[in-house]
Amino acid sequence: MALGRGLGDILSEVEEVYEKEDLSSIDGFSLEEQGVRIEELPVKDISPNPFQPRKHFDEEALHELSQSIQEHGLLQPIVVMEKENGYLLIAGERRLRAHTLAGISTIKAIIADIEIDEARLRELALIENIQRENLNAIELANSYAELIEVHQITHDELSAIVHKSRSQITNTLRLLALSSYAQNRVALGKISQGHAKILVGLNEKEQKIIIDSIIGQKLSVREAEKIVQTYKKNSASEKKETLKLTAKYQKILKKLLPFDHKLKAKSIEISFSNEKDIENFLTFLKKE
C-alpha cells in the first residue's frame, strides 16, 4: 500500500479548490468527477474516525469555532465516506464537534466515493492532523511513531510524505522517551516542546522536579536548560566516580565470587544457568 495516496490525493485536490474559490461557487459536477460530492448531512448520522490520534481538544477554541460557524456558516466542509448505517468521518473532527456544540443538526460534507480499509483510515487520520498542525507535540510524536511502525518507513521517507524536516521528526519522536508525567504536561500545554526537549536524558524524578519548577516559576527554556545542564553535569560526575569504584573492586570480587556476575553502579548481578548453580551458591553462602 502506497502511503499518502488514494483518498489523500482527492482531499488535496479538493483543498486546492477551496484555496482558489468561494465555496458557493464550487461546481458539484466537477467534484463528482474527482470521486466526491457535497451534501448537507445529519450530524447524528456521522461517526467519528476511531483512529483519530488527537486526544485533546481546546474547549475555548471549539467555542470560538462554534460561534464563527453560527455567524458565518461552515467555510470548509468535513469529509466523510458512506458506511452501512450512515457516514464515517475522515477529516474535520473539530468542525463536527463545533456543530454539535452549536446545536446545528446538519453539516455540509464532502462524501468520498471510495472503499477504505482500517490501515488507510488510520493513515488518513494521522496525516490529516499532521499536515494541519492540529496535534500537540506528544500526539504528533505518537502519530509519527505509528506511521513509521505501520508502514515500515524511515525518518527520511516520512519527512517526504508529511512535508516536515527530518530533524523535526527525529526531535519530536525523542519526546516519547520522556516519563508519562512529562508527556502529560506537554500534552496539556503546561510546558512547551522546547522545555520538554531539554529533559530527554534525565531520570523520572529529575524530570518531575524541573517540570514543576518550570510551571511554578514560569521558567523560560533557556533558564530551564541551565538547571538541566547542572543535573547532567552532576550525574556525569557521579557516574565517573562509580566507574572508578567498579574498576577498583572488580578484580577482588572476581576472586571471591566463583560465579558469573556483573558489577553495576550500586549492585552485583549474579547469573545462574541451572538449579545446580543455585545450590552451589547457597553452599557458598553457608561457608561464609
Catalytic residue IDs: 93
Cell triple for 74: 461552515
Bridging pattern class, strands 86-91 and 46-47: parallel
Q: At what angle do helices 118-132 and 137-151 cross, to 10 degrees?
A: 140
Q: Please name which of 140, 142, 91 lies closest in space to residue 112, comparing C-alpha atoms.
A: 91
CA end-to-end span of the chain: 65
C-alpha 278/C-alpha 271 separation (Å) is 9
Where are the extended beta strands (E) located within the chain?
A: 36-42, 46-47, 78-83, 86-91, 106-112, 261-263, 268-270
Q: Please name which of 181, 183, 179 lies closest in space to residue 141, comparing C-alpha atoms.
A: 183
The count of residues in the chain is 288
CA distances to 56, 138, 180, 213 from 193, rounded to whole Å, are: 16, 9, 15, 16
91 sits in the region (left: phi over 0; alpha: psi -120 to 50; else beta) called beta
C-alpha 204/C-alpha 181 separation (Å) is 8
Q: Please name which of 280, 243, 287 lies closest in space to residue 264, comparing C-alpha atoms.
A: 243
Cell triple for 277: 548453580
